[in-house]
Structure 1
Amino acid sequence: MRPKLVLRFTCEKQSTLSLENRQKYNLWSEKNHSRGSVLYPPVQLHKYDDHVVVDNGIFSITIASPEGTVTSISYNGIDNILNDRNEKSDRGYWDVNWSDPSNLKDGRLDKLTGKYLDVIVNNENQVELSFKRPWTFAQEKNHVSLNIDKRFIVLRGSSGFYSYGIFERLRGWPDVDIYQGRIVFKLEDKLFRYMAVSDQRQRVMPTFQDRDKGKPLAFPEAVLLTHPSNSLLRGEVDDKYQYSSENKDNRVHGWICSDPPVGFWMITPSNEFRNGGPVKQDLTSHAGPVTLSMFFSTHYAGTDLGMKFRDGEPWKKVFGPVFIYLNSVTTEDSPLSLWDDAKVEMEMQTNSWPYHFPNSSDYPRAHQRGLVSGQLVIRDVVLAFADSAFVGLAPPGTIGSWQEESKGYQFWTRTDEKGYFEIENVRPGYYHLYAWVPGYIGEYMYRSIIYVLQGSRINMGLLIHKPPRNGPTVWEIGVPDRTAAEFYVPEPNPTLMNQLYASQTTESFRQYGLWDRYTDLYPDQDLVYTVGVSDYASDWFFAHVNRNVGNMTYVPTTWTVLFDLEDVITGNYTIQLALASATAAELQIRINDVGGVSPLFTTKLIGRDNAIARHGIHGLYWLYSINVVHSHLRAGKNALYLTQTRGSSPFSGVMYDYIRLERPPRY
């Protein structure tokens, strides 16, 4: 074991520095220990019959061999940060959810247990271990049809370890559907009770035992805490989806132990291997205490985001590396300062991407990657710079296909105030360039395929995005930003609250049970919105849901938009309808004839993103341009009727992003 004095000095040395100086210190020390400096003890690998231990003098990690599951992490006087009351296979592990597509009810969990260990690197500065499991046809019904290579890296002087995985399918292998892949760490609940996901989302959390004693609510993830070990949590709702985050914001999260003051953090320095693009939502940390690294899932999107392999399709992808960071402060310092330190570490890890130390030819280094740049402008009513636009490279497809992309890599950035963008560290490959701009409907796609070569620097020049528009705006509801955040989010049922969001306005939509608040506000008649009089921030409910008429029976609802027209111009009007979410929904539109047998328009059955139930303010984005013949309208008062026809569930419904009526153009 490491000398305790060395460990303690290292932790205290870093914690007493200011954040600015700590950055300089770490950059300096990284430069030195990467050259073999004796500033830190050497990394040591100890091999035993059924496990290995890697110790770098700051922490030690024990991994079952050849399974590749983390059974123990020893740090700062804590013998095991993980919950050692769990089975050894249920402490720190990789897993995937998969199914046989020939059996729709066949859902399986595979913990990707390794079959043999390869020591890739073993020297005083680095240990890299590979736990492999090759797939054979003899394993067809027991394991997902993937070759698995799970890797762990410990560096000299690093207060944490890295993990990444290489998943591969060979040509001719059987069909399979894969829905989720992740790393899970289950921490010691007697130590880690305080969770931090962002600056605003931090709190003392319940344990698994607290949840087991609670009252189940509308779905298994949501529990009313009735007998928690911490009495301050009694009467609150706990649901892991209340702590979800968009990929672009899901960069660091984890837990704090107050005695001794220690932090455990999941840091994701790049989103290139995650699925669904920058605003795809996924889980972070949640009650347990549990910390996750979600590489891909169908959360907030539905099974369309799953990876479906057919006809022997070959495939390979590298997930990670992610960094599991350990930090500590002296007992005189506030344990909450560990969060600020973790954010600094996250920035440093992000700035170090792509890493130089992973030893796999499947992970390209910085010099093996490319760069794509350009400028995006908007041609709508006027010509404008695409300020703060999302611009990304994703596998070739159609407009919006990146939302449902899981097999390939994606690289996203934001434009500056003049629309300039630079996408760095792009893996060699074929891509389409996609973009969307907050404040405008639709999205841009560069039609030609972009081939990024090793070391290439591609300047796309000036790109012009023409958002969908057929005529001048008559009226509009909302802000086209792909979320329903600007609409009215009600107060939660006071008996079903999460106090974390009680005083927040920006994320109050994360409260449980808001779908039933529509019935409380509109018990007999549905929402009526009058253009020019109503305010969408207070008069437009954030989700178009069904009404609860008692005995858990839900019926469809029809919302009405009243508007006046001074006159009606001959020609075609257009309704631009942008949806921020849809779950088992069918939205029908009628104008001036609420009882008409045939609607003017129907989406038909759409959506499986489940964002209403999972406290998300958006799921997948849908855009419809609906033609309205002028004879449907009249001078004076008009009514637009929006009916969500699927009424069997509290969670069937849509969230609107934006609605606009356009009149015919005048040439």
Structure 2
Amino acid sequence: MAPIGVELLVQDHHVMMDNGILQVTLSKPEGIVTGIRYNGIDNLLEIRNEESNRGYWDLVWNSATTGTTGIFDVIKGTSFTIIMENEEQVELSFTRTWDPSQEGKLVPLNIDKRFIMLRGSSGFYSYAIYEHLKDWPAFELGETRIAFKLRKDKFHYMAMADNRQRYMPLPDDRSPPRGQALAYPEAVLLVNPVEPELKGEVDDKYQYSCDNKDNKVHGWICTEPPVGFWQITPSTEFRSGGPFKQNLTSHVGPTTLAMFLSAHYAGEDLVPKFAAGEEWKKVFGPVFMYVNSAYEGNDPLSLWEDAKSQMVMEVQCWPYSFPASEEFPKSYQRGNVRGRLLIQDRYVSNDYISVNGAYVGLALPGDIGSWQRECKDYQFWTTTDEDGYFRINGIRTGDYNLNASVPGFIGDYHYDVVMTITSATKVLKRKKEINSASNVGCDIDMGDLVYEPPRDGPTLWEIGIPDRSAAEFYVPDPNPKYINKLFVNHPDRFRQYGLWERYSELYSDQDLVYTVGVSDYSKDWFFAQVTRKKEDNKYQGTTWQIKFNLDNLDQTGSYKLRVALASATFSELQVRVNDPKANRPLFTSGMIGRDNSIARHGIHGLYWLYNVDVPSSRLVEGDNIIYLTQPRSTGPFQGIMYDYLRFEGPSSPSSK
């Protein structure tokens, strides 16, 4: 039996989309999702909440010139339009138009929120078009997202990865007297939860954060009846910051988020700042809100497996063909890029090295590594196969630089020739152009691209793995008073609350000392260089030592210390060699970083790479010590996470 067509019911203050599988009700003209009826449940959303606090788009903006906090705005449309209505598809538009009389009161954006329901689809889609016009005032956009507040009496099990799912506390458990706030509001100790087995656990929404590259499906399961509500993001093209940028997913509420733009794990660097008169337009989404059900008696966790399968289908259908707005280009209006990425490092191999799993992407033209701070436009990423080949499909028209991040090698590959993607019906090759009758956008063959990662001389020693993360270093057991049981004996053991406090306990008398050739970085290198808490509840900076031996000192050449950082929060890295009291360090980064990854269990934030020349005059034949100092110490969360350190000898003539 064919699925029934989509029907639309328009009332005075509400509008309902119905395809026989589910019914979605929105307020009119505001465009707030007030109800989702499915599988015998009148409303999956929290009926105790006001209608404006159930399913909504929101943003945080600021008219000032600095800062990531600002004015919170649940976006309410002032005009309602039916874009499309037939048995196959309904698309609705809820718009809010800005004018100068609203300056300082509303974000200076025209916003068009769209909602789509298709025949036979167990869910609905949403996307939005944001536009800043010429002559409009300056502003900053700190965050924008879609939030869904589900019924707390039904949705108790949350899943966002195969190994990150659990029965969650109730929202009541987070409020006094059941919950006790810890070092920051998001982290709460459950002292008297409704479910006694959760007593003594810590709940913190940041423990369920996820890299953009992995953030494709998450949501909640109701067990009676077995029903799932899932947020599926089929593409990362509209998310800022690249594949490693972390965003929130689902958390106690029960709440599910579709994050499009945020400063989380990055700070102000990921807050787009728009100048007065700067013209800008961007489409966020579409994303898919998927609902599913199981037969009574079946394992409710099968709903998670089904949601993952649905996510794969949505990814394969990207870019979608059904959004009606001309601002969302179809497949034939987009372009493709392909090529092969090879590594040339003469100290690793005389031949080119092909790398499996390197991330290759297009972002706005900029400098080396600028893609991770780019937050206004679109980015398109893929991974290389075992031979280094890659293909990026469905690229929106525009100008881009090609970038790459290669696991096992430091730095960023950057192809700085601007690449123009067009929707013209032709196929481009790097050095010649061949006309084609194809009805697809341009197809660019980059050929072989060679990345020569930073390297001056042979590796004398190294600490860690160059992968933009501190996960391989020593992550201590949490304080037994502050445990999330999900992350006990878990690959993401760094997602426990309060690990920063363990440093002062483990290194109460002196700071970390690492001896090359003796120490093991997985046991002896603490995952974050944090401040030390003193008895008077004040904090002090810390200095770590790396001890190493030089059998033969080359007094004619220069050595190189390469330091890749995975995170920095209001911190500074100072490097001294063989003289810890030297008035001026050999190198200082100055104050860097606002990513707050230490407090938010992130194991990485923004990536930093420093290349420090070490003159042979600073070294001695025999035992040497490098001192790494982080002196800034006004609080517990200032510090850095190292990704990788390498000490190179002078370049040998035969290697040049």
CA–CA distance in structure 1, aligned partners of residues 451 and 415 of structure 2: 9
Report the AA paired with residue 173 of structure 1.
W
Report the AA paired with residue 332 of structure 1.
G
Per-residue CA deviation, residues 204-243 of structure 1 (Å, 9 max, x unaligned), is: 1112211013000000000001121111111100000000
CA–CA distance in structure 2, aligned partners of residues 66 and 410 of structure 1: 32
**Of 389, 395, 398, the match for 1:429:** 398
Q: Match for residue 31 of structure 1?
A: none
SS at match of 2:308: helix
**Of 550, 555, 561, the match for 2:546:** 561
Percentage identity across paired residues of the two chains: 57
Q: Match for residue 311 of structure 2?
A: 346
Residues 68 and 271 in structure 2, CA contact (< 8 A), matched pair in contact too: no
Is 1:267 the equivalent of 2:216?
Answer: no
Per-residue CA deviation, residues 267-320 of structure 1 (Å, 9 max, x unaligned), is: 000000001000110100000100000001010000111010013100000000
Residues 646 and 652 in structure 1, CA contact (< 8 A), matched pair in contact too: yes
Per-residue CA deviation, residues 153-207 of structure 1 (Å, 9 max, x unaligned), is: 0111100000000000111110101110000000000000000010001101112
SS at match of 2:107: coil
**Of 602, 605, 608, the match for 2:594:** 608
CA drift at 1:81: 0.4
Does the C-alpha gap of structure 1 residues 138 and 153 become closer, same or farther in structure 2, counting only changes over 3 Å?
same
Report the AA paired with residue 370 of structure 1.
G
Is 1:664 the equivalent of 2:627?
Answer: no
SS at match of 1:494: coil
SS at match of 1:334: coil
CA–CA distance in structure 2, aligned partners of residues 369 and 243 of structure 1: 34
Give structure 1 regions of 4+ aligned residues with deviation exceeding 6 angstroms. none
Residues 589 and 600 in structure 1, CA contact (< 8 A), matched pair in contact too: yes
Is 1:240 the equivalent of 2:226?
Answer: no
Identify which range, 381-390 or 144-153, moves more after superposition.
Answer: 381-390
SS at match of 2:391: strand
Is 1:91 the equivalent of 2:54?
Answer: yes
Residues 67 and 268 in structure 2, CA contact (< 8 A), matched pair in contact too: no
Residues 100 and 106 in structure 1, CA contact (< 8 A), matched pair in contact too: no
CA drift at 1:481: 0.6
CA drift at 1:112: 1.4
Is 1:407 the equivalent of 2:393?
Answer: no
CA–CA distance in structure 2, aligned partners of residues 106 and 488 of structure 1: 33
Q: Match for residue 499 of structure 1?
A: 485
Matches within 5 A, 1:301-340: 301-340=266-305
Is 1:370 the equivalent of 2:335?
Answer: yes
Matches within 5 A, 1:250-289: 250-289=215-254
Report the AA paired with residue 609 of structure 2.
L
Per-residue CA deviation, residues 386-414 of structure 1 (Å, 9 max, x unaligned), is: 32111000010111111111111000000
**Of 388, 409, 416, the match for 1:447:** 416
CA–CA distance in structure 2, aligned partners of residues 663 and 116 of structure 1: 67
CA–CA distance in structure 1, aligned partners of residues 170 and 420 of structure 2: 49
Q: Match for residue 110 of structure 2?
A: 147
CA–CA distance in structure 1, aligned partners of residues 68 and 366 of structure 2: 30
CA–CA distance in structure 2, aligned partners of residues 76 and 503 of structure 1: 37
Is 1:508 the equivalent of 2:493?
Answer: yes
Q: Match for residue 517 of structure 2?
A: 532
CA–CA distance in structure 2, aligned partners of residues 220 and 557 of structure 1: 27
Matches within 5 A, 1:526-605: 526-569=511-554, 570-605=556-591
Is 1:479 the equivalent of 2:465?
Answer: yes
SS at match of 1:248: helix
Residues 365 and 416 in structure 2, CA contact (< 8 A), matched pair in contact too: no
Report the AA paired with residue 432 of structure 1.
N
SS at match of 1:120: strand
Unaligned runs of 5+ residues in structure 1 are 1-37
Does the C-alpha gap of structure 1 residues 373 and 186 become closer, same or farther in structure 2, counting only changes over 3 Å?
same
**Of 447, 451, 474, the match for 1:488:** 474
Residues 92 and 184 in structure 1, CA contact (< 8 A), matched pair in contact too: yes
CA–CA distance in structure 1, aligned partners of residues 70 and 342 of structure 2: 46
**Of 636, 644, 651, the match for 2:630:** 644
Does the C-alpha gap of structure 1 residues 155 and 436 become closer, same or farther in structure 2, counting only changes over 3 Å?
same
Q: Match for residue 430 of structure 2?
A: none
Residues 68 and 142 in structure 2, CA contact (< 8 A), matched pair in contact too: no
CA–CA distance in structure 2, aligned partners of residues 302 and 138 of structure 1: 31
Residues 567 and 634 in structure 1, CA contact (< 8 A), matched pair in contact too: no
CA–CA distance in structure 2, aligned partners of residues 113 and 143 of structure 1: 11
CA–CA distance in structure 2, aligned partners of residues 169 and 193 of structure 1: 40
Structural RMSD (CA): 1.0
**Of 288, 300, 323, the match for 2:265:** 300
Report the AA paired with residue 198 of structure 2.
L
CA–CA distance in structure 2, aligned partners of residues 118 and 502 of structure 1: 51
CA drift at 1:503: 2.2
Matches within 5 A, 1:14-413: 39-101=2-64, 107-213=70-176, 214-380=179-345, 381=347, 382=349, 383-413=352-382
Residues 473 and 527 in structure 2, CA contact (< 8 A), matched pair in contact too: yes
CA–CA distance in structure 2, aligned partners of residues 521 and 333 of structure 1: 48
Report the AA paired with residue 574 of structure 1.
K
CA–CA distance in structure 1, aligned partners of residues 103 and 253 of structure 2: 33
CA–CA distance in structure 1, aligned partners of residues 353 and 463 of structure 2: 22
Q: Match for residue 462 of structure 1?
A: 448
Residues 90 and 116 in structure 2, CA contact (< 8 A), matched pair in contact too: yes
CA–CA distance in structure 1, aligned partners of residues 102 and 546 of structure 2: 58
Q: How many residues align?
A: 629
Does the C-alpha gap of structure 1 residues 288 and 99 become closer, same or farther in structure 2, counting only changes over 3 Å?
same
Report the AA paired with residue 302 of structure 1.
G
Residues 111 and 131 in structure 2, CA contact (< 8 A), matched pair in contact too: yes
SS at match of 1:168: strand
CA–CA distance in structure 1, aligned partners of residues 354 and 69 of structure 2: 50
CA–CA distance in structure 2, aligned partners of residues 399 and 92 of structure 1: 39
Report the AA paired with residue 339 of structure 1.
W
CA drift at 1:106: 7.2
Does the C-alpha gap of structure 1 residues 234 and 245 become closer, same or farther in structure 2, counting only changes over 3 Å?
same
Q: Match for residue 10 of structure 1?
A: none
CA–CA distance in structure 1, aligned partners of residues 489 and 354 of structure 2: 36
SS at match of 2:530: coil
Report the AA paired with residue 569 of structure 2.
T
SS at match of 1:71: strand
Per-residue CA deviation, residues 471-509 of structure 1 (Å, 9 max, x unaligned), is: 1111111111110011000000001000000121x1000
TM-score scaled to structure 1, two decimals?
Answer: 0.93
Report the AA paired with residue 385 of structure 2.
D
Residues 68 and 268 in structure 2, CA contact (< 8 A), matched pair in contact too: no
CA–CA distance in structure 2, aligned partners of residues 438 and 106 of structure 1: 34
CA–CA distance in structure 1, aligned partners of residues 471 and 412 of structure 2: 20
SS at match of 1:594: coil
